[in-house]
Chains A and B, each alone.
Chain A
Amino acid sequence: MAAPDKAKRKAGFIPLTIIFVLFIIFLYGPTATIAILSFQGPDGGLTFPMNGMSLHWFRQLFEEQQVGDFGGSLTRSILLGIAVMLCTAVFSLLAGLAYRRSFMGGNVLFYLTLVSLILPSILISLGIGIMFDRIGLSPGWYSSAFGAHLTWTLPFGLLIMFAVFNRFNKSYEAAAIDMGATSWQTFRLVVFPLILPSLIGVCLFGFTLSYDEFARTLMTAGTFNTLPLEIYGMTTNVTTPVLYALGTMTTLFSFTLISAALIAIWAVRKSRARKAPTSA
C-alpha cells in the first residue's frame, strides 16, 4: 500500500493541526517569552519591545540586596529536593516490595496513602504548620516542609513502583532461585538492576515535585524561603527583568537535570550495543 499523499488527508487534519499548534504555543510560549525578555538591555522594562540585548539582569540576580536571597533559596530548594528524592526512592521501593505480597491492612494503608494526594495541598500545608505550632516547634524548610513534600511525593513514588512491579516478570526471580540464589542475592543481582531505570525515574520525579512545590511549602517553610516562595515574593516587589532572568535560570537547571538523565540512559544503551557482535 502506498503512503497516503497530501491530497488524501482526512477532513479533520487541518483543523486538528491548527489546534495542536495553538496548544504548543500556549504550552511553551510563556517560557519562551520569559527567556527572551530576560536578555533585556539595562534600560529595558518588563514588557516588549526589547531595549537592546544584555546579560545585565543575570548579573543582578546574584546581588542579594537587589532582589532577595536567590542563591540561598536555590541552595535550600536543591538540598530539600535531594533529601525528598532519596527518601521517596527508598520508601517507595520498600513499600513496592512489601505490596508484592499481600499483608494485613495493606488495602487500608494504600487508601490512607492516596488520601494525601486527594486532599488540597494548601490544607495539608496549613495543617502541618498548625500542628508544629501546637507542639511548640518552629517550622523550617528542612523539617515541616520536608514532611509536607513527602506527603506529595511518596504516594506518587508508590504508584510508580506498583506499575513497575506489575510488569515485572516473576520468572527472572524464579530463575535466580533455581540457580541457588538467596532472596537477598536475587534482589541485589536481578531485581534491583532490572528496576533501576524506573527507580531513577522515581528519583527525578521526587526531586522535581519537591523543587517546584509551592502550596505545601507556603505554611511550612518557616523563616527561610525555598525558591518557589522566593520567586513568588519577588513578583510582588521586584519590577525589573531580573525576575525573568531568574525564570530562565531555573528552567535551564531543570532541563540540565533531565538531559543529564537522558544522556546517562543513552550512554548505557550505547555501551551495550558496542559490546554486541556486529555480525549476526
Chain B
Amino acid sequence: MKKGSVELVGVVKRYGESTAVRNIDLHIEGGSYCCLLGPSGCGKSTTLRMIAGHESVSEGDILMNNRNVTLLPPRKRGTALMFQNYALFPHLNSLDNVAFSLKIAGVSKQERHARALEMLKLVNMETFREAFPEQLSGGQQQRVALARALINQPEVILLDEPLSALDPFLRTRMRAELKNIQQQLGITFIHVTHSQEEAFALADQVVVMNNGYIEQVDEPIGIFSRPRTGFVASFIGGHNIIQGTLTDSGLSVGERRIIALDRSLETGADNSASVSLRCDRIQISREPFDIAQPDPLQVESVEYQGSYVHLRGQFSDGLGLSVFQSDADYLASPLHAGDRAFVGWRHTDLNPLRPGGDAFSGL
C-alpha cells in the first residue's frame, strides 16, 4: 500500500444534541488528490478537522497507513493542515513562518532557515523570505502557507477551502499550482471545497457530502456522468431530474407521459422513481425527429453562456427541462423565449437515481 492512505471507519461527530457527521466510511488512497465536496454545513470541514486532529471524534476510528490515529494529537499523525485564511503568523516573516515547526522541534536557527528557504524555493517564494504576511498578496500567502505545511514532510496535507479567499483568476492559477505540487511530491491531498468546478479540476476522488452523510464517492467523471442521488445531480449542476412512477412500459411522468427506459430502476414508496438527464445530452430542434418526445417544449428563457446556450422550457403537462445547446447549433437556428421546439434523448442517457433524499435547493 502507498504511504499516506487515510481511512475513516464509522466516524460520527456530535455537538451536544446536533450531529454534524453521521457514520462516515471512507477510504482515501495514498498519494491521491481527494476533494470533499458539499454545501456549507454538510460536515466536510468537520470531517477534515477530525482527520487533522483538531476536532475529537465522537464515534468510530481514523486510520493512517493502517495505524489508528483517532486519539493522537495533530503533530503525531503525519498530517499538516492548511487553514482557510492560511493563518500565517502576522508577527513573523515568510521564512520564520515556514520554519516555525522546526523551531518548535528545537532545530538550530541556521538549519531551520536553510530548510525553510528550500521550501520557499519549491513554491517560488524565496525572494519574499523577509516579507511579512500583510505585505503579501492572497496567492503569495497561500504559497507560503503551503511551504509551511510541507516543511515537515507530512504524508497527508489537509486543505480547508484553500482557494476561497482568492479572486476567480488567481483561483484557477493557484489550483493548477496545487495540483502540480501534489503530483511532484506524490503526497495525499485532502481538499475541502464547495465548488464542483474546483473538485472536478483537481481530484482523483470526489466525495460528495450532504447533511453529514456521504452521498457519493467516485472519480470526477463518474460523479458527473452517473450521479447516484438527486442531491448529487442537482448540486453539481447541468442535470435535469425527472421524477415519476415506475410502470411496465417505463417511467410515468405527469398524466400521460411515459419515458422509456433501458434499465431497471430502484423504486421507493408507491413505486416512485427518478432519473437524471444531462442538459447537454438533450437534442433540441424546431422540427420533430426520430427520438423526440411527441409533444413540443415551450421555451421560457434563453441564456447565452459562450460555448453553449442554456434554454429552459416546459411541456404542457408541467414537466420542465433545462437544455444546453452548443453555440454552433444555436446560431444555425436560434430559438427565442416563447418558441416551441421538440426535444429528445437516447435511453442510455437516462441515469437512474437512488430513491429518497432531497435535491439540493441552493441557498
Binding site for B on A (CB under 8 A): 169, 171-172, 174-181, 185, 189-190, 193-194, 272-273, 275-277, 279
Contacts and interface: CB of A to CB of B under 8 A. Distances in A.
A180 B83 contact: no
A174 B87 contact: yes
Place the interface of chain B in its size category: 20 to 34
A179 B152 contact: yes
Contacts of A193: 91
Given A190-B89, A193-B91, A194-B91, A178 B74 contact: yes
A62 B80 CA distance: 65
Contacts, number: 68
Given A171-B83, A171-B85, A277-B127, A178 B132 contact: no
Is chain B's interface secondary structure helix, strand, loop, or mixed overall? loop
Contacts of A174: 54, 81, 83, 87
Contacts of A190: 89
Nearest to B160: A171
Lowest 6 CB-CB distances: which A-B pairs, in order?
Answer: A180-B75, A179-B101, A175-B87, A171-B87, A275-B130, A193-B91
A196 to B, nearest CB: 8
Interface string B69-98: 000011100001101110101110100000
B351 to A, nearest CB: 40
A181 B102 CA distance: 10
Given A177-B54, A194-B90, 6 more contacts: A179-B80, A180-B105, A194-B89, A276-B130, A277-B128, A277-B131
B81 A175 contact: yes
A171 B145 CA distance: 13
Contacts of B269: none
Contacts of B90: 194
B150 to A, nearest CB: 12
B3 interface: no
6 contacts: A169-B85, A175-B81, A176-B100, A176-B104, A181-B104, A275-B132
A189 B54 contact: no
A273 B75 CA distance: 33
Contacts of A194: 89-91
B127 A178 contact: no
Contacts of A180: 74-75, 101, 104-105
Given A174-B83, A175-B81, A276 B104 contact: no
Contact of A275 (B75, B87, B93, B152): B93
Contacts of A275: 93, 130-132
B135 interface: yes
Interface string B246-259: 00000000000000
Contact of A277 (B84, B104, B105, B130): B130
Contacts of A179: 75, 80, 100-101, 104, 148, 152
A196 B128 CA distance: 25
A182 to B, nearest CB: 8
A199 to B, nearest CB: 13
A179 B102 CA distance: 9
B312 interface: no
A224 to B, nearest CB: 43
A276 B128 CA distance: 7
B130 A178 contact: no
Contacts of B75: 177-180
B45 to A, nearest CB: 12
Contacts of B101: 179-180
A181 B101 CA distance: 7
B323 interface: no
Interface in B102-120: 103-105
Given A178-B75, A276-B135, A172 B87 contact: yes
